[in-house]
Amino acid sequence: MDIYSQILNRYWGFSSFRPLQEEIIRSVAEGRDTLALMPTGGGKSLTFQIPALMSEGICIVVTPLIALMRDQVENLVKRGIKALAVYSGMSRAEIDIALDNCVYGDYKFLYVSPERLGTEIFRERVKKMKVILVAVDEAHCISQWGYDFRPAYLQIVSLRELLPGVPVLALTATATADVVDDIQQKLSFSAPNVIRTSFERKNLHYLVEATEDKHRKLLDIISCIPGSGIVYARSRRKTAELARFLSNNRIRATFYHAGLPSSSRTARQNDWMKGRARVIVATNAFGMGIDKSDVRFVIHFDLTDTLEAYFQEAGRAGRDGKVAFAVLLYDESDSSNAAKRVAMKFPEKQVIKQVYQSLGSYYQIPYGGGKGTILEFNIADFASRYKLNVMTAWYSLKALETEGYIELTDEINSPPKIHFTVSRDELYRFQVANAAFDGFIKLLLRTYSGVFSGFSAIDEDFLARKTRTDRDVVYRYLVRLNNLNIIKYIPQRRSPLLIMNTERLDANSLYISSSDYRIRKERYMSKLMSVVRYASSSGNCRSVMLLDYFDEKDVPRCGNCDVCRKEDSSGVGRVEFDLIRSSIQEIIRHGNYTPDELPAKTDFPPEKTIKVIRWLLDNGQLERGEDGFVRWRE
């Protein structure tokens, strides 16, 4: 067994590699900058984890989602591999300790959110680390032409300057040709080097259902496909509504969106993973990092913003390789709604400025101040206070984030903290006067040093055990001490954070580049139109259309999508169709023919050949030149 397989086996217990994993690992191990394109679930993580385990030193992994970062760290730690994470929202002291561990503590993996890369504290420590590899997950985020641009990703290249000679492995599941080029350029690849697997999913049957009654259709489809599935809907409200609709029709369904408390999200996700709910109706917040292989269908109730997103979400079906369905429900109003969506996603600049000002007064940040402040953020509260539409507020903030003014994080779980705000003498007098608290205070002082100089994170379960009570009692003690002004107590929270990257500016100084904003808007529109085209066309194999979008040309018709099935019923079987198609391709490679001359040149029945030629011309695979001859379209 070679060294790669040994590591695969030893740490993960897998017996063989998936397609291209080994090739990517080898490329990285040879020190080459590498861009790997693999569909979701293809096994990208191992391609940086294994090379990092092979040599001495640490691998820095840049990844955008904090929740995912933690999953991966936990996963590695479970296998006895030393890994940790540094992300926005951790306190400076926490970051300090984590980075020290990476310098002195033989850690193998440091997961970091891109926003941290530019900070001085990070850059100073990185210089002292023995970095052997930089992995950039979700690398399409570096491209403004991609569908999920994150400005902080542009800082990765400055990391390269600190780490000359260290190879970079960029990973993504979706990238069109221009994005593939852009990623390599933005990461300063020393030489172009792309390794990609085909995105063809043979077991996935793509269907578009044009219907006047999406509810009815949804029910029909779910009733005839056994097994579990996901239904994606655009709005949070709709996820609840559809789940109720399904439940009323005796289909066990739950729903999921980012507005639910995280305990409830975990519970719902588990219900679905374990089969207690057959269907989960969710917004696009659901799915990343979820590893359920026997999903039999993914149904989209609404159009996605991009085909990249559609492909990712639909691709969650059938990871076990068995037949699965990706269904898109479509009605006439979808294309007119698309236009409204553009307007909502790209608020007028005036609106963005107004939201920015409201943000300043919401947090009472003085002009010229506030840089670097970390704030808890509740969008619903903010929007209602300033009478803003929540969506408008949200997309304005997103625009401000893209411009680098602010940063929004996922929900972050922060531990409870305490700080003694009285002097030791005062505390002593308090203990004497309040004997009931004496034992508890002594326990705090014994367990947590440094509580006089600043906040310390505490473990309420531990305190409960030590005092032989429960968490509720501990909580009440702490609240009492807080109200008596002995300590400052910050209870445990889970909340998204908003970080001010720059000092507060007045409305005139806030700059939003008109041309960039316009280009982004146009890109967004054209991507959305690709989705509308996908949904409304009825002449192209769905799989061919999707793959063509990702610049995979010359792929055979899938034979399984709604279009292919319709072709079949028109009299040309799918195997026959593909045979005729390749025969035509061969013939016109060697000579010039008009469409009328072609049928006689093949060995197939002319009436069928004519049908196939018609279809190929209609669907743009064949074209007729000005000279009248047909040509294969590149």
Residues near ligand ADP (CB under 6 A) are 14, 17-18, 21, 38, 40-46, 291
Beta strands in 319-474 (DSSP E): 324-330, 374-376, 406-414, 417-420, 456-457
Q: How remote is the C-alpha of 473 from its chain's centroid?
A: 40
Name the pairing type of β-strands 204-210 and 487-490.
Answer: unpaired
CB-wise, 50 or 208, nearer to ligand ADP? 50
**Chosen from Mg ion, ligand ADP, none, partner binding at 496 (C-beta under 5 to 8 Å by type):** none
Cβ of residue 584: shortest distance to ligand ADP, in angstroms?
37
Cβ of residue 137: shortest distance to Mg ion, in angstroms?
6
Cβ of residue 135: shortest distance to ligand ADP, in angstroms?
11
Long-range residue pairs from 268-276, CB within 8 A, at least 24 positions apart, any chain: 272/228, 275/228, 276/252
CB-wise, 79 or 371, nearer to Mg ion? 79
Cβ of residue 121: shortest distance to ligand ADP, in angstroms?
29
CB-wise, 44 or 520, nearer to Mg ion? 44
**Chosen from ligand ADP, Mg ion, none, partner binding at 14 (C-beta under 5 to 8 Å by type):** ligand ADP
Q: Which amino acid is at 4?
A: Y
Q: What is the greatest pairwise CA distance in the chain?
A: 107
- Give the span between the Cα atoms of 554 and 534, in whole angstroms: 18
CB-wise, 172 or 414, nearer to ligand ADP? 172
**Chosen from Mg ion, ligand ADP, none, partner binding at 196 (C-beta under 5 to 8 Å by type):** none
CB distance 305 to 527 below 8 Å: yes
CB-wise, 22 or 460, nearer to ligand ADP? 22
Residues 23-52 that bind Mg ion (CB under 5 A): 44
- Give the span between the Cα atoms of 352 and 359, in whole angstroms: 11
Residues 41-100 that bind Mg ion (CB under 5 A): 44
Residues 594-623 that bind Mg ion (CB under 5 A): none
Q: Is 205 exposed, middle or buried (0-12, 13-18, 19+ CB in 10 A)?
A: buried
CB-wise, 62 or 397, nearer to Mg ion? 62
Q: How many CA atoms lie within 13 A of 275 on its CB side?
A: 5
**Chosen from ligand ADP, Mg ion, none, partner binding at 291 (C-beta under 5 to 8 Å by type):** ligand ADP
**Chosen from ligand ADP, Mg ion, none, partner binding at 501 (C-beta under 5 to 8 Å by type):** none
Cβ of residue 267: shortest distance to ligand ADP, in angstroms?
22
CB-wise, 35 or 474, nearer to ligand ADP? 35
- Tell me the residue number closest to Mg ion, measured at CB: 44
Phi-psi region of 559 (alpha: psi -120 to 50; beta: other; left: phi over 0): left
Which positions ≥6 away from 374 have C-beta within 8 Å?
88, 89, 497, 498, 499
Cβ of residue 417: shortest distance to ligand ADP, in angstroms?
33
Count of CB atoms situated within 10 Å of the CB of 390 = 12
Cβ of residue 205: shortest distance to ligand ADP, in angstroms?
21
- Give the span between the Cα atoms of 539 and 392, in whole angstroms: 37
- Tell me the residue number closest to ligand ADP, measured at CB: 43
Q: Which amino acid is at 588?
A: I
CB-wise, 4 or 301, nearer to ligand ADP? 4
- What are phi and psi for residue 83, nearest 5 degrees? -145, 150
Phi-psi region of 13 (alpha: psi -120 to 50; beta: other; left: phi over 0): left
Which tokens sit at 325?
A: 């369905």
Cβ of residue 363: shortest distance to ligand ADP, in angstroms?
37
Cβ of residue 110: shortest distance to ligand ADP, in angstroms?
18
CB-wise, 41 or 227, nearer to ligand ADP? 41
**Chosen from ligand ADP, Mg ion, none, partner binding at 31 (C-beta under 5 to 8 Å by type):** none
Count of CB atoms situated within 10 Å of the CB of 86 = 24
Contacts with Mg ion by CB under 5 A lie at 44
